[in-house]
Chains A and B, each alone.
Chain A
Amino acid sequence: MTLTSQDRTIIEATQAGLPLVTRPYAVVAESLGLSEADLIERLKHLKAQGIIRRIGAAPNHYRLGMTANGMTVWDVDDAVVDSLGEKVGGLPFVTHCYRRPRALPDWPYNLFAMVHGETRDEVVAKRSEISSLLGKACRASDILFSTRILKKTGMRLRGKEG
């Protein structure tokens, strides 16, 4: 995937967020010396390439009272892990769901689903819902609660040509 220098400029100008006005692209376009239509056209192109996943907002789980977070992990039959993973990812309380390699013998789990809740009990109850959904295809599972954030840095594209 090759980004033009104009793409990089657009990414840098929008990755911290858009102004919350009725025509946000017009405001950003003006600051970049582009027309609103050209900026939207370029963003559509980035979206078609999969570089932009969506336009929207991300919730702050902690501020929404979702202070318990559990990484639920599952050892699911390889033959059905992808179809079941889609279902787990579709549960409203699952924020992230990934298939990852096992690390045998210590780590038999190949499906990871992050569950947020207001309390640990709530997260544990949600784990049971996932368990029912997976049924017999799941051989073992565990839940890892986060006890401390040790480091958190934002991801930012560096200001250079690619």
Chain B
Amino acid sequence: MTRYLSPLERTLINRLQDDLPLVSHPFQELAQELDLSEEEVAGHIRTLRDDGLLTRFGPFFDAEALGGAFCLCAMAVTPERFEDVLTKVNAYPEVAHNYERDHKLNMWFVLATESQAAISATAEAIERDTGLPVLLFPKEREFFIGFRVNA
């Protein structure tokens, strides 16, 4: 479900993907740029969040810097076994996200664990449980700038 976005809302969605200054009045700069009051800026962002167009406003933490380990994994599962394998894989609390994709490798999930060793251990446990190979695609490098809506 989508709704009309005003030009101001589009600008805000884009600007909020940059880094706001860590100061007492974080919306002051945006307010001056947009010729609004700080209250108005905060109010517009609140509406975007309450309407579900922004997931949240605040600090974004680097999950790995917080001490966790993450790894993208993929499996090739036949249609006959899909639901059975899915139940087994999703039963692991370490499986954070799981997506079905249209490829021979059709099950793609992210393992989130407390340590790097737990990644391999969990992947091996899933292999034993399902009898299928789990391919590991750890992040070697991240290239990221950000997503933009047409403003």
Contact = CB atoms under 8 A, between A and B. Distances in A.
Given A86-B143, A90-B145, A93-B147, A152 B97 contact: yes
A71 interface: yes
Contacts, number: 227
A51 B62 contact: yes
A116 B65 contact: no
B56 A40 contact: no
A57 B45 contact: yes
B60 to A, nearest CB: 5
Nearest to B107: A150
A16 interface: yes
B80 interface: no
Contacts of A20: 42-43, 45-46, 49, 57
Query: Which secondary structure dominates where chain A touches chain B?
Result: mixed
B100 A147 contact: yes
Interface of B: 1-2, 5, 13, 16-27, 38-39, 42-43, 45-46, 48-49, 51-63, 65-68, 72, 74, 86, 90, 95-105, 107-109, 112, 135-149
Interface of A: 1, 3, 11, 14-18, 20-26, 36-37, 40, 43-44, 46-47, 49-61, 63-65, 71, 82, 85-86, 88-101, 103, 106-107, 112, 116, 142, 144-153, 155, 157, 162
